[in-house]
Amino acid sequence: MTPFTLHPTRPGDREAVGTLLLNVWDGDEGAVAYHGGGRAPGWVATVGDEVVGYASLRSGTRHPTFRYVGVHVHPRHRRQGVGAALWQEVTRGATGTLKTATYAHLPEAVRFLGARGLTVRLETHLPTLDPARVSAAQVSAWVREAEALGFALLPMPALEGPDLRRRLTRLHLDVYAHTHEHDPPAAESEQEAGADFLGDDLRPEWLWVARRGDELAGVSSVRDMGDPAAAELGWFGVPGQFAAYGRILTLALTGLALRSAAASGVTRVLPELDSADPNAMHLRRELPWEPGRVWLTLTGDVRD
């Protein structure tokens, strides 16, 4: 076993911790970002002058229910007690419920967390989709079903009103709250939310809305990733008061958004489909995805 030492994070550790996280997560910037990008104070493990491990415990801002924990050990230094020592230091005296995430294809990480009282609560499926494979006939059938229920389905450029962006922001906030009832989001200002939901990656022609009377009842969008051929499935779903229509509105609106993106030359769409969101599971079952990785969210009370 290679001897290692621990110390609380120091300002000079930032670059080395960032490099470590990229090594631990095979360059997956999304996973690194989930775990705070190395910015949170915590503990560092070193062998000589090399940073070989990092752990942090931080409170969520958007989701304050849990405390987010992460323990990251360089592949060359695993199974030597580094992770256990970091866990002990970073959770010492902690209270409340912890939350973290890893990939399903990393069983060693899942076992490590399970041994410390964390249980898988949520699966986030990360498949891919060529939107041209989404059947126009099937989308038309979903649209007809939604229209028969009294909903009009419209792209953002067809919507009008001086307060349109405010109404769309409110719709997104309500949809987000409904899809995260298992982990309620903190209140945020409409200005902050608008910058997130209707930010620079917005393509208005790829954002579709359901309307019944004067009420906005659902949304789905495809977001620009800066690559003409690739895009991201954005926010989708319905507010709580329209939950009974979630399946058909989500399928119809997402089908229309995907077909719009395909018409613009997009050949690859990346989603995040959470198992806690029934509308996401409808999309997973009924669209022709190519399977991808599965991101596991685990929660549990502190245990030594």
Contacting residues for 97 by C-beta, under 8 A, at least 6 apart: 65, 66, 67, 299, 300, 301
pLDDT at 290: 98
Q: Which of 69, 71, 106 is nearest to 299 (CA)?
A: 69
Containing H/E element for 287? none
pLDDT at 91: 96
Model confidence over 272-301: pLDDT tens digits? 999 999 999 999 999 999 999 999 999 999
SS3 content of the chain, % helix, strand, coil (to 5): 40, 30, 30
15 and 93 together in one domain: yes
Determine, yes or no, domain membership for 203: yes
CA-to-CA dists, residue 117 to 80, 83, 114, angstroms? 21, 15, 5
Determine, yes or no, domain membership for 295: no
Confidence of residue 208 (pLDDT cuts 50, 70, 90): very high
162 and 120 together in one domain: no
146 and 111 together in one domain: no
137 and 107 together in one domain: no
Residue 183 pLDDT more than 90?
Answer: no
Average pLDDT of the residues in 245-261 = 98
Average pLDDT of the residues in 196-216 = 93
Contacting residues for 213 by C-beta, under 8 A, at least 6 apart: none
Determine, yes or no, domain membership for 213: yes
Report the alpha-carbon distance of residue 124 to residue 110 in Å, rounded.
15
234 and 199 together in one domain: yes
Determine, yes or no, domain membership for 301: no
Question: Does residue 183 contact residue 297 with C-beta atoms inside 8 Å?
Answer: no
Residue 304 pLDDT more than 60?
Answer: no
We report the CATH number of the domain holding residue 207 as 3.40.630.30
Q: Which residues span the domain enclosing 213?
A: 130-288
The domain tally of the chain equals 2
Mean pLDDT in the chain? Answer: 94
Q: Which of 288, 160, 162, 156 is nearest to 222 (CA)?
A: 156
Helix axis angle for 190-197 and 164-179, nearest 10°, is 80
pLDDT at 149: 98
Q: Is 28 helix (H, G, I), strand (E, B) or coil?
A: coil
Helix axis angle for 278-286 and 246-263, nearest 10°, is 50
Average pLDDT of the residues in 157-164 = 91
- Range with the lowest mean pLDDT among 63-67, 133-137, 287-291, 298-302? 63-67
Domain end call among 124, 144, 176 = 124
Using a cut of 0.85, tell me whether the model's pTM lies above it. Answer: yes
104 and 180 together in one domain: no
pLDDT at 15: 95
Determine, yes or no, domain membership for 300: no
Confidence of residue 95 (pLDDT cuts 50, 70, 90): confident
> What residue has token string 């929660």?
299
Report the alpha-carbon distance of residue 91 to residue 69 in Å, rounded.
8
Residue 187 pLDDT more than 80?
Answer: no
